[in-house]
Structure 1
């Protein structure tokens, strides 16, 4: 199953109030395994970057001034995500900004039914714990040492690992031989020797064995089982 894990960085918290997406990072996973394919872009928001937002992601007005506008990369983004489910942390925030930008370009919004929220998953699996991306990386032993500031692509890559852990871990696709009804043979392992099946061996004692056993028992003095037999 193909899924897309994504994250956005923005100028603020409210798209209807004029805030815009300045960065998006998307990571492709297939059957819970990263394929190595990703989509990443910075955008010129056509407005100043507030100091508070710059402190979070480190993206400045000057840095973004020569970057493409969202409308210039929108078709490429839609082609990459295609019809896959979209996974994000606190997904309603990212979906709100993504759909605002798409509608601003005259493109159809992404259906909310495609949204998978890892924040909701984390709250369900670990109620009462901390559920930030940093906290979940610590919980699952995921290396976040490069996360000095928020970055859409890096955060999407970290979230992809968190999502795998929240949905069963790395063994989620493990198939047992008993399930497949077949065994794969490695040609490099050398020739396979076919063995002839032997008939089952008889396990009942022969009469002479029973006789020797009775003679041995008769030599025992005051055997323990005689005491229990007398009580019964």
Structure 2
């Protein structure tokens, strides 16, 4: 039985052995685990209770993992960790574009999954500078985790906000991909650094005014990214 205040992780995989393996490791780390064998079952769980993170297999029968993620993102910013096969790079990219926070490839070490879960939740809980940052029409409130464009609230995923907050911690400073990974994904991340590029594209799209694209997140070719100076 999970302890009071334990984080809840929804583990979605059609293979019972994987649900039990991942669930067992998570429970030993103090997490409350809710298993689901299909996308439909996962969506039912999310409609009925709050969870802190979803581990989602891409290859599910019926509603596959990508469609499940698409439906989740219609009304929730809950962090999502994808489980994919090594040969499924297009699915990983699509998943990141749809709003997944991270991915782990099969076969995987359950300890790696636990480490990724811990890192994602640590990002969500991480202390941020409370000072507001305004760049052009964009205003960032790190403490309140809010972003507005011309005064209108803008919806970002947890990871997109963390990426923007990292850049906003030092406007005008250039951050390499590795520096952003260490700040946002955690020092123990060892996946493809192109994950930064995917989320930068999504962040830029979210900050775009209707019919206009303010130059907020800038590319420094051959180096990395920076937030335009206020």
**TM (normalized to structure 1)?**
0.27
> Larger Cα Rg: Structure 1 or Structure 2?
1
Higher relative contact order (CA 8 A, sep 6+): 1
Structure with greater proportional strand content: 2
